[in-house]
Amino acid sequence: MSKKTPVTISDIARRVNMTPVTVSRALNKPDLVKPATLARILEVAQELDYVPNAFARSLKRSESMIIGVITASVDNPFYSEMIKAISREAKKRGYTIMLVDTDGSEELEAKAVDTLLSYRVAGIVLSPVSDEPAYQPAYLSRLSNGDIPVVQLDRALPDSPFSHVVLDNYHSGVKGARYLLAQSPNMQRMLVLTGPARSRISEERLKGVKAAIAESGKPVQLDVFAGDYTLEPSHQSTLDYLRNHPMPEAIFGFNQLITLGAMKALRDRNIAHDSVAICGIDRLPFADIFGIPIACIAHDASLAGSSAVKMLLERIGDRHVPKARIVIVGELENGVGV
């Protein structure tokens, strides 16, 4: 089947036997066209399934009503909720989002930036593939020296000049560890499943865990396994751990997918999830439907997303607004016995 060619203003003009200028005026400034002429042009436009080229229109006006959103993982439920909030908030102000999922690839992230810049988007909400100190992508200087506002969400590039919305990672680690310690007064081992070892998010959360253990004064053996914020590495790490170590009294997963990976490993080994204290960072999606209220340090993903786009829109309106930082605080949910 051949691909349908988009209908242009010239196509409509030929059909109604008028000039393209008249058709363009009717579609963009209908109050300047005679009612009969306008009615005829709109009728034909509908018959031909004419769709306005918003991109071309924005180039003419030297403006865009598109906000670019670059995310490293749309399959992460927390990110999906943030993106939904971004879209809703953008719509309120007449903007449309253009979403690019980099799937954790540095190469795809660089291409995403190039694509959004070529579309002359009004601004970019960026959640980079990495927040490790060594990660300094080549596109950073282009964004820094350009006139398109950028707001970072969840992950922030080291030493970047952009405003950002981040989570209170240190205190999330503290709160989760305190909860687990309270669940097992005689705890000997805690298994902690993190994101990438050099990720600043993981480092801050782990600092919080260690601070809580030191505060408790308990001689807890802390066993730490790094992953990549997805399910399968934590699943394999937990299986390997259970084969080679005594059963831990507690498991702490540093995001929903990591926590789910650990629970999958427990199921593979026929270990009941309620036989060990479990806490994750951010809510497990739909877990309560199945009667599995896993404790978590929950952050408001919708607030994070809406805060990021509001911050971006502020900078679209005024390019001289100074750099700012918003921190989303997490709170314990589904905690048993607290």
pLDDT in tens, 241-260: 999 999 999 999 999 999 99
Domain map (residue ranges) of the chain? 9-52, 64-167+301-328, 169-298
State which CATH number among 3.40.30.10, 3.20.20.140, 3.40.50.2300, 3.40.640.10 fits the domain covering 169-298: 3.40.50.2300
DSSP annotation of 289 reads G
Q: How far apart are CA 269 and CA 266, in angstroms?
A: 5
Is 338's pLDDT higher than 60? no
CATH class of this structure's domain 64-167+301-328: alpha beta
State which CATH number among 3.90.700.10, 3.30.70.3420, 1.10.260.40, 3.40.50.300 fits the domain covering 9-52: 1.10.260.40
Higher pLDDT, 288 or 15: 15
- Asked if 128 contacts 89 with a C-beta cutoff of 8 angstroms, the reply is no
pLDDT in tens, 188-210: 999 999 999 999 999 999 999 99
Task: Give me the residue label for tokens 């070892």.
Answer: 197
Number of Cα atoms under 13 Å in the Cβ half of residue 262: 32
pLDDT score recorded for residue 147: 83
pLDDT in tens, 219-233: 999 999 999 888 999
The confidence band for 57, taking pLDDT boundaries of 50, 70 and 90, is: low
pLDDT score recorded for residue 1: 41
pLDDT in tens, 137-178: 989 988 888 789 999 999 999 889 999 999 999 999 999 999
- Does the fold of domain 169-298 match that of domain 64-167+301-328? yes
